[in-house]
Structure formats: C-alpha cells, structure tokens
C-alpha cells in the first residue's frame, strides 16, 4: 500500500512538472523577432531586434507613440527623458566583435543597446548604450551612453511594412547600417580597421595549432607584403616560414616572399641574393611571373636573365619561350623578341585565348612595339 502511495505521488509530481513545460512556439503579437549580421573584414556586426509593422498606419508612425520624437517621459520605468527604442519590445542590441568607428567616432568592441532620438525630420541622434538588457527605453540612463552620433534620415516612395535593419554601401573597410520602416530610412556608417584587425588575429593564431605549418607563417608575411604594412614583423614571419623549428621549408614561395619584403624595406642587396637562391626552386609559371614582375618594375635586363634561366631549365615550353619574347622586348631587342614569339606559337599553346594573345604580340613586334 505504501509503495502504491509513493508511486502515485511520483506520478503526480511528474505530471505537474510536465504540465508547466514550455514548448517552442513562434513569436506572437504584432512584431517579429529578427537578427542580421555582416562582416567588415574580420569584424562581425550583429543587430538583434523586434520588427514592428506599419499595419495601414502610413503617415501615423513617426512622431507618435510608435516612434516618438525627442526624449519623453513614457509614464513607466525610471527614465523621464527616454529616446525611441529603435524597434519594438526589449532593447534593440548591436554587437561589435572588435573596435570600430561609427559616424567617424571610436567605439570599443562589445554589446550595446541601440536607441534613436528623432529630433526632427532632418536630425536623428543615434545612441549606443552600455545598458543592453532592459525592456525598451523605459530605463534609459544617459550616464550609460557609450557614444552618440547624429545622422539625417531620407524618405523613399515605397513603404517598408516591417521595420528592417540592413547593411548598405559596403566597401572593404566599411558598411552603412540602415533602419528602414514605413517611408523613412535612417543610416549610420560603421568602419573597421581591417588590416590591423587581421594582423592582430594572425599574431594570436600563429601561437596556436595553425602555427604548425610553414604555410601559415608565409600567409601572415605575404598579407603584410601585399598591404605594404608591418614589414619588420612580416620579415620575422617570413623567416619562420623558411627556418622555423620543425616546420620551416626553403622553397620558391617562402624565399621569394622574404626577398620581396627586403625589397620593400629598401634592402635590395639582401633581396637580390635571396631571389637568386629562390629561382632554382621555382616552377615554370612562378619564375615566369617573377620575370614579369621585374618588367613592371622597369628592370628589363634583370627580367631577361630570369627568362633565359627559365628557358634553359625548361626548353621547348611555350611559356618559357614567350618569356624570352617578353624579356627581349623589354630591352628593345624586337628582332629576337619576334623570333621567340613566333616559336612559342608552335610549341603547343593550349587554348585559343593564349594563341590570340601571342598573335597580337607578333603583330606588335613586327611594328617594333613593346609587348609588355
């Protein structure tokens, strides 16, 4: 009897706990929950917000209780001068994974409550608050402002039914966040220091498992080379790709990258010595590309020597023969350039596009014109 009683109590407790369990349900009410993210380089920007709808209230959204103007006492909470919540329900929250500039002003990485004070149809104050967990703007405290900027809204002919945040005017280093609702569009520009963020990220990643390969150290050095920045540290990373303990490897890629960094640092004798060491490791296309790089630097004589070495090492190859044509052309020897261009055309050029290109070179050289 006692056991049956205990079993009944256990089943009753289970029933009570199950009866209060909350199943996953779609958000109800007049607004929709949404989240939108974008990357500027490695900087991730995320906006979490609720989307109120116009619902036939065109012309009755802005300057009303839906999106009030200025700083007002909403009759609830502690704030007596609250801005608009820039959405619906709880805080609209914007998160930055690294430091940014908003409207030209610095803002540290972190999570912020996003508010807007619509001062007029031509002036809106955008507020980034350290308080990101309150409901709406009922507890807004200006002492917690991390940043304020001023922006100007624009009007569109078509109405946006549900409030929406989007990223527009994107560039390599920036994007403009736009709040679109009804016929208003409210923008603010975000900028990130992409290059420095990447460099800082690489410093940390090279300390972990990604640093156990010469490719990672080369990738870091080459990024700095391509962006012409942080070259002294890049030189250290380049050396790590060549002689790093257990992982370093001497090849054309590692040696030539370090040589090019030397060149950027105006250490040309070191660069030349290292390239001389790198060239025997190079594949046909790698050496050919280096020769063309020398031509672009107006070093025609040096380029010709590189093309000659490539052709001697890889004879009867249309790429190396064409390299000779480019090299001779770079020093003004159009006769030998024309001879090699014609020869390259007979050495198995693989596609019509390259054949057409060589034929155009032959025509130019016949007119004593440089093909580079």
> What pLDDT does residue 59 have?
87
pLDDT (average), residues 69-74: 94
**Structural domain contains residue 27:** no
- pLDDT: is 19 or 200 the higher one? 200
In percent, the amount of the chain with pLDDT more than 90 equals 88
| DSSP H or E segment with residue 120 | strand 110-120
**Structural domain contains residue 5:** no
Query: Which residue pairs, CB below 8 angstroms and at least 24 apart, start in 142-145?
Result: 142/81
Whether residue 106 sits in one domain with residue 94: yes
> What pLDDT does residue 26 have?
64
**Structural domain contains residue 163:** yes
Q: Range of 305's domain?
A: 195-366
Contact 347, 321 (CB under 8 A): yes
> What pLDDT does residue 22 have?
73
Highest mean pLDDT among 30-34, 238-242, 290-294: 238-242
**Structural domain contains residue 10:** no
CA dist 292 → 38, 156, 286, 323, 334 (Å): 38, 51, 10, 8, 17
Domain boundary, last residue among 192, 220, 250: 192
Whether residue 238 sits in one domain with residue 102: no
Whether residue 216 sits in one domain with residue 101: no
Confidence at 29, pLDDT banded by 50, 70, 90: low
Rounded Cα distance between 282 and 273, Å, is: 15
**Structural domain contains residue 79:** yes
Q: Is the per-residue pLDDT at 5 higher than 60?
A: no
**Structural domain contains residue 354:** yes
- pLDDT: is 227 or 16 the higher one? 227
pLDDT (average), residues 240-264: 96
pLDDT (average), residues 325-354: 95
Contact 89, 118 (CB under 8 A): no
Q: What is the mean pLDDT of the chain?
A: 92
pLDDT (average), residues 223-252: 96
pLDDT in tens, 86-129: 999 999 999 999 999 999 999 999 999 999 999 998 999 999 99
Strands (E), 169-248: 174-191
Q: Which of 269, 271, 193 is nearest to 231 (CA)?
A: 271
pLDDT in tens, 255-312: 999 999 999 999 999 999 999 999 999 999 999 999 998 999 899 999 999 999 999 9
Rounded Cα distance between 114 and 134, Å, is: 11
**Structural domain contains residue 281:** yes
Domain boundary, last residue among 152, 170, 192: 192
pLDDT in tens, 162-196: 999 999 999 999 999 999 999 999 999 999 999 99
Q: Into how many domains does the chain fold? A: 2
Whether residue 224 sits in one domain with residue 179: no
Rounded Cα distance between 294 and 307, Å, is: 11
Tell me the pTM.
Answer: 0.80
pLDDT (average), residues 353-357: 94
**How many DSSP H helices and E strands does the chain contain?**
11, 10
Domain boundary, last residue among 160, 192, 224: 192
Rounded Cα distance between 26 and 43, Å, is: 31
Helices 284-296 and 318-330 cross at an angle (nearest 10°) of 20
Burial class (CB in 10 A: 0-12, 13-18, 19+), 40: buried
Contact 108, 116 (CB under 8 A): no
On the CB side of 180, CA atoms within 13 Å amount to: 15
Whether residue 345 sits in one domain with residue 203: yes
């Amino acid at each position: 009897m006692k056991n049956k009683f205990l079993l009944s109590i256990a089943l009753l407790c289970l029933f009570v706990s199950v009866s209060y369990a909350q199943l996953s349900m779609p958000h109800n009410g007049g607004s929709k929950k949404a989240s939108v993210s974008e990357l500027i380089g490695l900087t991730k920007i995320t906006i979490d917000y609720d989307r109120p709808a116009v619902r036939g209230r065109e012309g009755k959204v802005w300057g009303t209780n839906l999106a009030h103007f200025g700083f007002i006492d909403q009759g609830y909470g502690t704030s007596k001068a609250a801005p608009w919540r820039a959405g619906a329900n709880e805080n609209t929250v914007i998160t930055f994974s690294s430091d940014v500039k908003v409207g030209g002003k610095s803002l540290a990485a972190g999570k912020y409550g996003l508010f807007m004070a619509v001062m007029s149809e031509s002036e809106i104050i955008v507020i980034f608050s350290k308080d990101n967990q309150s409901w709406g703007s009922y507890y807004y405290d200006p002492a917690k402002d991390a940043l304020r900027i001023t922006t100007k809204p624009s009007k569109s002919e078509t109405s946006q039914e549900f409030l929406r945040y989007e990223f527009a005017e994107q560039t390599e280093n920036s994007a403009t966040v736009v709040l679109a609702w009804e016929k208003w569009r409210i923008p603010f520009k975000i900028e990130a220091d992409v290059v420095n963020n990447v460099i800082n990220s690489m410093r940390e990643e090279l300390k972990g498992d990604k640093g156990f390969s010469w490719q990672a150290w080369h990738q870091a050095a080459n990024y700095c080379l391509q962006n012409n920045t942080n070259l002294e540290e890049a030189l250290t990373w380049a050396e790590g790709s060549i002689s790093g303990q257990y992982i370093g490897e001497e090849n054309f890629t590692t040696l030539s990258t370090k040589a090019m960094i030397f060149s950027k640092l105006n250490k040309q004798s070191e660069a030349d010595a290292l390239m001389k060491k790198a060239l025997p490791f190079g594949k046909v296309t790698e050496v050919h590309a280096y020769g063309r790089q020398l031509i672009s630097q107006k070093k025609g004589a040096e380029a010709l020597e590189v093309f000659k070495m490539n052709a001697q090492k890889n004879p009867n190859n249309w790429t190396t023969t064409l390299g000779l044509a480019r090299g001779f052309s770079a020093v003004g020897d159009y006769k030998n350039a024309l001879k090699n261009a014609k020869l390259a055309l007979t050495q198995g050029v693989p596609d019509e596009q390259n054949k057409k290109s060589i034929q155009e070179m032959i025509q130019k050289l016949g007119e004593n014109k440089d093909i580079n």
